[in-house]
Structure 1
Amino acid sequence: MSTRDLVLVALFAAIIVALGLVPPFTLGFIPVPITAQSLGVMLAGCILGARRGAAAVLLVLLLVVIGLPVLSGGRGGLAVFVGPTAGYLAGWVAGAFVTGLIAERLVRETQPELAQFLGFLAAAIVGGIGVVYLFGIAWLSYSSGKAFMEIAMASLIFIPGDLIKAFIAMLAGRAVLAGYPLLPART
């Protein structure tokens, strides 16, 4: 990685951490709070691409491992990696990678604007929602002893907010693509 790549990874890790300052909203029927940090995962993938986006999330998780309270609600430390949200945290890495991979494949500077918007939206939905949910729901089902489908149905409550986050990531990805041509290729 170049120095520019390292700076971008650190910048997006800081954005993910800053989004953790938004207080989480806890629901009573599922032990996973609604947070703004998943928006940072989508942004990292859409703007930085697969490799650097995943690296930004890994940097945040490294900060969590060493005990810094960088997760929403001021959580940090190794205990979060065995708690009910651990699957979502692992899903962030895979989600940022898949989001970036899809954005790299679907979005080109030479495409019409609408195609770019749709490419970023597809990337954010598939990677930032689908992949993250897959990891999170699987872990929550395993750790709670409840059926996968039961957890999946309870998780539907998160879909409207996550679609809004995907829309924001789409707008940001397109704005950066159009406005910052000197930003290194999303690889």
Structure 2
Amino acid sequence: MQQTNPAPHPTPAGTPARARTSWNATDLSLIAVFAAVVAASAILPAIPVGQVGVPITLQTLAIMVTGIVLGPWRAGAALSLYVAVALAGLPIFSQFRGGIGVLFGPSAGYIIAFPIAAFAVGFLARIVFRRFDRFRFLALFAACTATSLLITHPFGIVGMMINAKLDLAAAVAADVVFLPGDILKNLAAAAIGLSVVKAFPRLQSRPARRS
């Protein structure tokens, strides 16, 4: 009697696909596309705040969405590409800045944190999609907020202490003004990221050791 293989079970919406062994052309294209999305979010009108002048932008929103959708390794690669191209001289940082000189400004800590934050929220998002069937929105919001509080803001504070010569209290005070906006952007990122993954679950198909 001929034995037939059972039909594969369909992947539930919003659940990451099975791991692959390496990146393919689609992965590389997604990395480039999301790097461009972050660049577009940076060149939208920025709002400088405080005496230090670090601007409020939509970059953190784009970074969180990138992490949720692409997972840690591809999101980290997308943000590394974005930062590398900008530091090479392309004016795609906020306020049309570019070049290595940006690392000597008050925003340097936030910029250095971008790839790390993208990786971190991507890692946490993977856990959410694997282990949470309910309350995914709240879990993704918590992942974005934890990344902001534990990575983005501390790096930003250290950057202002080094480059703007602020003491710790002054740097924290300068950073606190970004928190309300970050909460709103994290809510939006969780909603957008969850919607994208539900609509295109294959976007999260990933290499086994890279994501």
Query: Normalising by the residue count of structure 2, what TM-score does the alignment of the two structures yield?
Result: 0.82
Counterpart of 1:98?
120
Cα distance in 2 for residues equivalent to 1:55 and 1:144: 29
1: CA distance, partners of 2:40 / 2:84: 16
Q: Distance in 2 between matches of 1:181 and 1:49?
A: 12
Is 1:9–2:68 an aligned residue pair? no
Q: For each residue in 1:122-153, what CA deviation from the matched residue of structure 2 results, as whole angstroms up to 9, or x when unmatched?
A: 12111245311111111211223322232112
- For residues 53 and 129 of structure 1, the distance between their equivalents in structure 2, rounded to whole angstroms, comes to 19
Which of the numbers 132, 149, 154 marks the counterpart of 1:134? 154
Deviations 1:70-115 (A, max 9, x none): 1111100110012111111011111111111111112238702xx2
* Residue in structure 1 matched with residue 138 of structure 2 by the alignment: 118
Deviations 1:28-47 (A, max 9, x none): 32331111112111111111
Report the equivalent of 2:19.
Answer: none
User: 2:109 is matched with which residue?
Assistant: 87
CA contact (8 A) 1:141 1:147 kept: yes
Match runs of 1:1-187 below 5 Å:
1-108=23-130, 111-112=133-134, 115-185=135-205, 187=211
Bigger drift between 174-183 and 55-64 goes to 174-183
CA distance in 2, matches of 1:163, 1:45: 16
Distance 2:56 2:129 in 1: 29
Shift of 1:184: 2.9
Report deviation, 1:185.
3.2
1:169 deviates by: 0.7
Contact residue 129 and residue 162 of structure 1 kept, 8 A:
no
Paired letter, 2:43: L
Q: Aligned with 2:47: secondary structure?
A: coil
How far apart, CA to CA, are the structure 2 residues paired with 1:156 and 1:60? Answer: 26
| Range that drifts further, 24-33 or 156-165 | 24-33
Name the % identity.
Answer: 33
Measure how far apart 1:27 and its partner are.
1.7
Q: Which moved more, 1:145-154 or 1:43-52?
A: 145-154
CA RMSD of aligned residues (A): 1.6
- Aligned residue identity for 2:199: G
Cα contact 2:72–2:123 (8 A) shared by 1:
yes
Structure 2 unaligned regions, length at least 5 = 1-22
Question: TM-score when scaled to structure 1?
Answer: 0.92
Aligned residues: 185
State the one-letter code of the partner of 1:9: I
Query: Over alpha carbons, which structure has the higher Rg?
Result: 2
Q: How far off is 1:14 after superposition?
A: 0.8
